[in-house]
Amino acid sequence: MVSCTVENRVRFAETDAMGVTHHANYLSWFEMARVALLDQLGCPYRELESAGFLLPVLEAGMTYHRPTRFDDRVRITVTLATRPSARFRLTYQVHTGEALVMEGFTEHAFVNREFKPVRPPENFMCVVDKHFSK
């Protein structure tokens, strides 16, 4: 299991007329955490991308426990719990202070620039081998 946490201060532009963070923005926060996780694993998304690999979201789910507001400091933790194969799932928890405000998941597979499924890049699989026994 590998995991990584990033912090965000809710931007005014991320709020909506309910006075809270618009629910779609949590997907961008998940993405920030995902990017940081790949960095931590030694597979920066930017390098995957220049090598021709894309990692689109195939499925996503979110459960909102309570709203967050402008200027709240939120922590987003992403976890890769099981050894990734062609398709893999990441889970997320969003906290303000000690409170779990929201959680969710995304599912991914590597594709090429034409969005055709491809085998994961070698350095990604090396990293996976280091963290998860086969």
Task: Give me the residues that bind its own copies (CB under 8 A), please.
Answer: 9, 11-13, 15-20, 22-25, 27-28, 31-32, 35, 44-46, 49, 54, 56-64, 66-67, 69-71, 113, 115
Pick between residue 32 and residue 132 the one whose CB is nearest to its own copies: 32
Give Cα separations from 15 to 10, 27, 66, 87, 134 (angstroms).
Answer: 8, 14, 14, 33, 44
**Residue closer to its own copies (CB basis): 29 or 124:** 29
Confirm if 106 and 59 have CB atoms less than 8 A apart: yes
Closer by beta carbon to its own copies, 49 or else 129: 49
